[in-house]
Amino acid sequence: MPSQVIIFSTDSLRGGIIQEVLKRSGLESLLAGRLLEAGQAIADNAPRVVIFDTKGIFPDELNLLKNLCRALRDTGVLVLGDRSIVDTFSGEGIQNGLCLSDPLDPDLIASEVKQMILSPKTKEKRLQRDDLESDLKQFLKLD
Amino acid sequence: MADERDFLSEQRERFETFKGQALGGDTQSTGESDEKADEQIEKAKEASEKPVMAEEKEIGEGAESPKGPVGLDIGTSHIVAAQEKGTHIHAVKQLNAFFTVPKSKFSRSILNKNQVMYYERENLFYVIGYSAESFANMFNMNNRKPIKGGLLSSDEEEGLSVIQAIVNTLIRKPRNFGEPLCFVIPGEPFDGRDSVVYHESVINRFIGGMGYSPISINEGMAVVMSELSADDYTGIGISMGGGMCNVCLSYLSFPVITYSIQTAGDYVDSMTGRAVGEPATKIKGIKEQELDLTKEPQDRIMTALHIFYEELIFRLLQSFQRVLTSTDKIPKISNPIPIILSGGTATPNGCRERFEKVLRSIKLPVEISGVRLAGDPLNAPAKGALIMAMTEAG
């Protein structure tokens, strides 16, 4: 069964905590430690929500992440990390996006993810799966 | 130093991520093969509620070949092996010490006659475990320790072979090859003088060589695993041992903060000994038999023990405050969390109360619900390691 939530985090502790809290809220998720894996997981699963944890990622990865966010027009996006980094995502035109700066607040993340999944906007846009796949294939250079 | 420590822990976490990915594929799913994992975790949780039956390894008593997962705590003072046995956790321990005797036919016959545990290497007999203590007392000398300050001692060339020999008195090769064995490792020292990497790798190799599948667990985390199942493994586990105090802040079983200070029971013994002009081994004996921190000290040894105990607790909590206030790793925790104290140094009557008193005087970024002493403070790390091994079994 495809996962509704994909988590990208290079920090195994933070990623693991988010995954565990989501599990306790009844949400199955996939955790990816590398950006390309996250992109592939998104393409394979067409999730409703993607969580990007920017903690500890390299500047080059940050630019790739922003490109990936732009490609995710129809998926709920949650960006986490230091305020200085998270704030740079605000102007990136992420639709359905939400930025939460540190400290990591697992309970808030779980409640926001639940809301995003229940949001009719996300549900409706998720139907446009073909668009998502083609955008991601472009991002992953799979075409 | 702090930056270097952060860098090391970051590298370690990345390695862990890599290891996780290497073992479990590119992505880690909560949906796949979860039922079996949940079943193992439930079994481990049940085990954490079982009482510990501890025994000291008698001289001449043989070790058994374990069936099922094993927890192993290689501490500065003792080595403890724990296994699940029906309704209880069985912990067996041995003194982590040795004493050398020049090789001769006469000494061999004496050692054999007295059923002393020893092995021979080059021109020496290495008397190990509780036998070493008896021998050291007989010769009015101190025994030697393969672990110093919580880590493999660089002063003892044969330290690892001594540890191997002592472990072999507690457990033999497993009945089924590849049985999980979880061993306890200390956190990176707070002052950054030593590293845990060598210690962990060397022990990992020798456990693997015995036919087990080795896994390591931080000592403070092992305390959390042993004592905090009812709190969703969220809280602070502190192991106050001989050479080190180990601290772990765990959130939902994730070790968010781990570190150690190389100041613990041995420090109290040696500083008290220096202050009153007595050998540390004598002070240790008095401390273990008579110290009660709730009572006013009546002589200078007790006065000195009280002073250095207070200093140890203060140093521990001061380091804790510094680590917690200088990190951005701690997630928002909605409820106050408990602190669990374990280890031989936490056992004197009144230690918990002293700890609470000093705790009240410092400000922490997390709210504390209370301070508890582990159910079996001496065996809690080995029990926690066993629980971790059980979650990895099957």
Q: Does B329 touch chain A (CB under 8 A)?
A: yes
β strands within chain B, DSSP E:
27-29, 52-56, 70-74, 78-85, 88-95, 98-102, 118-121, 124-128, 147-148, 151-152, 179-185, 212-218, 235-240, 245-251, 254-261, 337-342, 368-373
Q: Which residue has the higher pLDDT, B314 or B46?
A: B314
Coil, strand, or helix at residue B63? coil
Q: ipTM value of the model?
A: 0.79
pLDDT tens track for A50-105: 999 999 888 888 888 888 887 787 788 899 988 888 888 776 666 567 888 889 99
Coil, strand, or helix at residue B177? coil
**Residue among A29, A82, A103 whose CB faces B30 most closely:** A29
Query: Dmax of chain B from CA atoms?
Result: 67
Give A137 to chain B, closest Cα distance, Å.
Answer: 18
Of B123, B130, B213, B202, give the one whose Cα is nearest residue B174: B213
Find the chain A residues whose C-beta atoms sit closer than 8 A to any C-beta of B: 1, 3, 10-17, 19-24, 28-34, 37, 40-41, 56, 82, 102-108
Q: In B, which residues are within 8 Å of A21 by CB distance?
A: 252
Query: Dmax of chain A from CA atoms?
Result: 39
Q: In A, which residues are within 8 Å of B257 by CB distance?
A: none
Cβ separation B329–A13 shorter than 8 A: yes
Sequence-ordered alpha helix ranges (H) in B231-379: 265-276, 280-290, 300-325, 351-360
Phi/psi at B259 (5° precision): -165, 175
**Residue among A19, A40, A107 whose CB faces B30 most closely:** A19
Q: Does B8 touch chain A (CB under 8 A)?
A: no
Q: What is the pTM of this model?
A: 0.85
pLDDT tens track for A8-31: 999 999 999 999 999 999 999 999
**Per the structure, how many domains does chain A have?**
1
- The answer to whether the CB of B330 falls within 8 A of the CB of B256 is yes
pLDDT tens track for B21-60: 333 345 666 655 566 667 767 777 788 788 888 877 665 5
Average pLDDT of every residue of chain B:
88
CA of A75: how far to CAs of A38, A113, A119, in Å? 14, 11, 11
CA of A60: how far to CAs of A88, B196, B218, in Å? 14, 32, 33
Q: Give the integer Cα–Cα distance in Å for A6 and B147.
A: 44
Choose from B9, B10, B21, B28 for mutation: most chain A CBs within 10 A: B28
Q: Give the integer Cα–Cα distance in Å for B256 and A121.
A: 36
pLDDT of B1 reads: 43
Give A103 to chain B, closest Cα distance, Å.
Answer: 6
Domain span including residue A43? 5-139
Q: For A41, name the nearest residue in chain B, comparing CA atoms only.
A: B27
Q: Give B349's DSSP letter.
A: B
- The answer, yes or no, to whether residue B185 has pLDDT greater than 90, is yes
Of B278, B365, B279, give the one whose Cα is nearest residue B321: B365
Say which CATH number the domain at A101 has: 3.40.50.2300
pLDDT tens track for A40-63: 888 888 899 999 999 988 888 888
3-state helix, strand, coil in chain B (%, to 5): 45, 25, 30
Give B34 to chain A, closest Cα distance, Å.
Answer: 10
Q: In B, which residues are within 8 Å of A34 by CB distance?
A: 21, 26
pLDDT tens track for B135-174: 877 777 778 999 998 999 988 888 999 999 999 999 999 9
- The answer to whether the CB of B339 falls within 8 A of the CB of B236 is yes
pLDDT tens track for B315-361: 999 999 999 999 989 999 999 999 999 999 999 999 999 999 999 99
Residues paired with residue B240 on neighbouring β-strands, in sequence order: B245
Q: In A, which residues are within 8 Å of B7 by CB distance?
A: none
pLDDT tens track for B231-279: 999 999 999 999 999 999 999 999 999 999 999 999 999 999 999 998 8
3-state helix, strand, coil in chain A (%, to 5): 55, 15, 30
- The answer to whether the CB of B360 falls within 8 A of the CB of B317 is no
CA angle B137, B142, B147 (to 5 degrees): 125
* Structural domains of chain B, with CATH: 99-138 (no CATH), 261-373 (3.30.420)
- The answer to whether the CB of B90 falls within 8 A of the CB of B66 is no
